[in-house]
A and B are shown apart, each in its own frame.
Chain A
Amino acid sequence: MKKMRTRNHTVVLNRSKGGDAGITVFLVILGLFMFLPMVYTISQSLKPLDELFIFPPRFFPRHATLKSFKQLFYRMICSWVPFSRYVFNTVFISFAGTFGNLVCSSLAAYALAKIDFPGNKFFFQVIQKSLMYSPSITGTLQFIVLSKLGWVDTYLAIIIPTFCSSLGLYLMKQFMDTNVTTEILESARLDGAKEFMIFWSIAMPMVKPAWLTLIVYSFQGLWQMGGSTLIYSEQLKTINYAIGQITAAGITRAGVSAAGTVFVMIVPILVFVITQSNIIETMGSSGMKD
């Protein structure tokens, strides 16, 4: 057996040159298909208005300008609710929702995967199957529940239901199943460690890639939340909603609309980059599974 090169501090098998080349070509072509529209969105946001409508269209702007962004910010300042309020709402909802979702999902996922209490299989089945129920109809009926609770038109209506996302729990549970070995837990239990301690200091570090993934996913969903039927007070609405109102003016604001898309995208991308580099760092430096 030939050892060709090393990867992640371990020895890998022989990889054929042809396979490597094929994979590179595949990734490049698919990557272009994925990424060019994104580059084009950025390029659109930098074009002056007269360059948005030329025949034939050009990919890159000839005279790049920040006019669309300026106009976007100008429109934001003009809104009667201070723009900082939209920013606060979005930040608050995103952080609170993600945090609660992470805590509730991880705790429950750990218990369902690693504690053998009667009923845990049943609970898990119910949660997993609930993912397949149309979110549209449950959303409509959630409204009845929320109005009975008196939460309609408050932050609670948005934040609290995200705490019990079946998706978050399912994701965490699947990683608890694979990454956390039962023997380590058993020996910790024999040493007299409390279950919460085991959860926090043994299980959670082992599933770090899972909860970083959950953070990215939950955060980006909340950050991009637009208008909602649960919120009608203008001062409780989000950035994405405000930008939607600005770009609703249609084709004359095509540039502003692209600028808005770019603007809303920035923070989730930052969160993504930070978490992804963390995932790779953890796994590269440890032999925690051995």
Chain B
Amino acid sequence: MSKKTENKVVSRKDVTKAQWTLHMMNKNKIGYFMIAPFMILFLIFTVIPVVLSLILSFTSFNMIEFPKFIFMQNYITLFLEDELFIGALKYTMIFAIIIGPVSYVMSFIVAWFINELPPKIRAVVTLIFYAPSIAGNAYVIWTTFFSGDRYGWLNAWLMKLGFISEPVLWTRNTKYMVPICIIVALWMSLGVSFLSFIAGLQGVNRSLYEAGAIDGITNRWQEVWYITLPSMKPQLMFGAVMSITGAFGFGDVVSSLCGNPPTDYVGYTVTHHINEYGSVRWEVGYSAALSFLMFLIMIGANLLVNKMLQKVGQ
């Protein structure tokens, strides 16, 4: 504020990189204070467990005895000896490839359509679409729909209309389990990314639309592609990460509808496998190796999505 500080202006060109860094650190030290509460807790509750897990993935550890170093053995077992893992990876991929993109695109489209509605009914319509996510375990209602006895909706009506003569065990029959889980997953897929899209759409600069109109945009599809989507890239990236973690971490719905483990391990995902080893069999080292592998897969998926997002609006 005073003249003295103004005289001390340092220019990037006059100093070495280390000096410049120090200068910037000093000038913006308020930044460190602001992230301190978050970062300290983050270090304790996320960084330490993740680093521990990385180290433990090279050991055999049961939470009681001191970990025993076994080098790459966990990873070798994973690919060469664990048949369940290969199956789990297959179902994880099936679920992720369908649920991830569909839920992502659906979240955006619904949010965008809702944004076109008059403000008064917008809150109500948003609630209707978000309701399945707001009630954490409301998806158990689908068990009455797909129930294996004749009181289940699907069985009852198919029997009444004469398509089947006896009830089908929808959630135990390997033919139907995967599609049923996907339907329920999509039912509750308008989650936090949907909310962030709704909020993000509200923040798009309205004068851009007017400018766009002058530049010759004639319909809503061009408008969304050339103006809305590019203005929302940060929210789109957030939504992508949410969809990826949701789709690759899929598993709760399968356990609730089809049991854990499900019939013949159909729909048994890597998430189930991580839980099975991490908190049932207490082979934490092996579970950590599985988690690290999933982490790499998700990072890869995220890179791919970000590449695709760069094409938006072009």
Contacts and interface: CB of A to CB of B under 8 A. Distances in A.
B302 to A, nearest CB: 7
B66 interface: no
A166 to B, nearest CB: 7
Interface stretch (B72-80, B96-104, B169-177, B241-249): B241-249
A19 B109 CA distance: 13
Contacts of A141: 48-50, 52-53, 56, 284
Contact of B210 (A10, A54, A128, A132): A10
Given A34-B132, A107-B35, A209-B202, A144 B219 contact: no
A178 interface: yes
Contacts of A250: none
Given A141-B53, A213-B195, A276-B126, A265 B138 contact: yes
Contacts of A217: 192, 195
A290 B132 contact: no
A34 B41 contact: no
Interface string B279-302: 100001001101100110011001
B45 A145 contact: yes
A118 B21 contact: yes
Interface centre among A16, A27, A130, A220 (most CB of B within 10 A): A27
A53 to B, nearest CB: 5
A87 interface: no
A16 B218 CA distance: 10
Interface residues of chain A: helix, strand, loop or mixed (majority):
helix
A160 interface: yes
Contacts of A188: none
B312 interface: no
B232 interface: yes
A279 B241 contact: no
Contacts of B284: 137, 140-141
Given A10-B209, A170-B238, A27 B138 contact: no
Interface stretch (A63-71, A73-81, A91-99, A109-117): A109-117
Nearest to B33: A111
B311 interface: no
Interface of B: 1, 21, 24-25, 28-32, 34-35, 37-39, 41-42, 44-50, 52-53, 56, 63, 106, 110, 113-114, 116, 118-119, 122-123, 125-132, 134-138, 140-142, 144-145, 150-153, 156-157, 159-160, 187, 190, 192, 195-196, 198-200, 202-203, 205-207, 209-210, 212-214, 217-220, 223, 231-235, 237-238, 241-242, 244-245, 249, 271, 274-275, 278-279, 284, 287-288, 290-291, 294-295, 298-299, 302
Interface of A: 1, 7-8, 10-16, 19, 23, 26-27, 30-31, 33-35, 37-38, 40-41, 44, 52-57, 103-105, 107-108, 110-112, 115-118, 120, 123, 126-138, 140-142, 144-145, 160-161, 163-164, 166-167, 169-171, 173-175, 177-179, 192, 195-196, 199, 209-210, 212-213, 216-217, 220-221, 224, 229, 240, 254, 257-258, 261, 264-265, 268-269, 272-273, 276-277, 279-280, 282-284, 287, 289-290
